[in-house]
Amino acid sequence: MQSLDRSFDHRLLKAIHPFLCIALLAIGLPLPACSQEPEPNQGAAGDLTAPPTQEWSFHASEAFYASPVVSETIVFIGGCDSVLHAVDMRSGVELWRYRTGGEIRSSVCIGADLLYLNGGDGAIYALEKRSGKLVWRFTTKGERKYDFADYVHSTPVLAGEVLYFGSGDGNFYAVHARSGALVWSFPAGNIIHATPAIANGKVFFGSFDGYCYALDQANGALLWKFKTVGHRFFPRGEVQGSPAVYKNLVFFGARDYNVYAVDQEKGYAHWNKAFGRGWGLSMTVHDSVLYIGSSDERVHIAADPASGAEFWNVKMEFLVFGNDAFTDSMLYVGTTNGKLHGMSRRSGKDLWSFETESYRKNRLKYFTQDDSYRDDIYSIITSNEQFLDVECELGGIFSTPVVSGGRILVASTNGTLYCLKP
């Protein structure tokens, strides 16, 4: 099939103040004047409509950006300590660990008897679920980081007997799940840290080159690529958000402040949603509704996937980078100031929040009592690196929570995995 290069002709968005633009996106300071994602509802029980209590916590030595994944009674979570931790869900006790050569910033993919891990070191590992024993290792051409706001790596997705994932070397790979043998690879124009989505014989993913790609699932042939608009401060329009699929559309967010809904077959935009202040990278489709979480816009949206029309649009007190988890009438989402929110799916009303101990301990260094920024905040935070440091100090949640067995599990950049119960 002939490959198509699709671009969406749309006006550039109104620029925000240029002061430390990328840093502001990372922390959300006010401007001066195996499923295709880790399954968030594994064994989900009833709604948690009241504030939960902490049942146990597990502590690692470095931050968690990856999301927890539950298989049977084991929670798997990788951290920036380069360790994959297998934790007993009932007690919070570590059962085994496996060390890689890099920061683990993606979730595991669960197979029948194996799990698959992006090690953060340019390698994919296949491990026995029960023991953590290495079965095979596939090595790419290496891993690298785009910038300090490049938070996560591509989580492998298993479809049939093939594992699909992107890499910091700019290539997208398909490898055999049993042997680790290469099936095919495809070169994009830059880093691929988005987790792919698969539908209708096609693999969809975005790259920091500003394109969303559709490849033939069987052979990796390019079917089409869609170019983002770009933005004054992000002219490349880097596609950092992982795609979600629904019916004939693929949804993804980019650094050009746009969320796009693109035709799976032909690669043109059905609609886009433009934000005025920042990125909208969190994308979850559940029960025929598209949920979008934003960074500096600080809103959470429930929308019609077909048109983008909003069912509700609610203010969030801080940035959202992880996806939502769901029970019957509730959704659960973390924010990067160290809180997990329980919200009504019908209205978006915030019914409760769980605060990390890091937030409670450190928030007054940066906020007033009502959680608005201190007047002297710009004298406190003076460099790009400090912005992310602050979120980690607050126990910021970049990950997606998981609901399993009537519990909520959520991981924080303070290096803690929390298990919450009703």
Q: Retrieve residue 342's tokens.
A: 């329980």
Least confident of 23-37, 151-165, 320-334, 337-351: 23-37
- Residue-level pLDDT at 30: 42
pLDDT at position 261 over 60: yes
Instruction: Write down the pLDDT at residue 372.
Output: 84
> Apex CA 355: angle with CA 349 and CA 389, to 5°?
115
What percentage of the chain exceeds 90 in pLDDT? Answer: 85
Query: Do residues 312 and 28 touch, judged by C-beta distance below 8 A?
Result: no
**Res 326 pLDDT > 70:** yes
Residue 175 in contact with residue 114, Cβ under 8 Å? no
Q: Residue 384: pLDDT above 80?
A: no
Catalogue the long-range contacts made by 353-361 (C-beta closer than 8 Å, 24 or more residues apart).
353/51, 354/51, 354/52, 354/54, 354/410, 354/418, 354/420, 356/394, 356/395, 356/397, 356/412, 356/414, 356/416, 356/418, 357/395, 357/414, 358/393, 358/394, 358/395, 358/412, 358/414, 358/416, 359/394, 359/395
**pLDDT score for 388:** 87
Structure confidence at residue 38 (pLDDT): 52
pLDDT tens digits, one per residue of 336-354: 999 999 999 999 999 999 9
What is d(CA 138, CA 181) in angstroms, rounded to the nearest whole number? 8
Domains of the chain: 4-421 (2.130.10.10)
Query: For residue 123, how many other CB atoms are within 10 A of its CB?
Result: 19
Q: What is the dihedral of CA 153, 68, 29, 362, to 10 degrees?
A: -130
pLDDT at 25 over 50: no
Using one digit for the tens of pLDDT, what is the confidence trace for 115-141? 999 999 999 999 999 999 999 999 999
- Residue 217 pLDDT more than 80? yes
Q: What average pLDDT does the segment 24-47 reach? A: 52
Mean per-residue pLDDT over the chain, rounded: 91
User: Poorest-confidence range of 6-20, 284-298, 346-360, 400-414?
Assistant: 6-20
* C-alpha–C-alpha distance, residues 294 and 136, integer Å: 38
pLDDT above 50 (res 149)? yes
Mean pLDDT of 241-270: 98
> Is residue 18 over pLDDT 80?
no
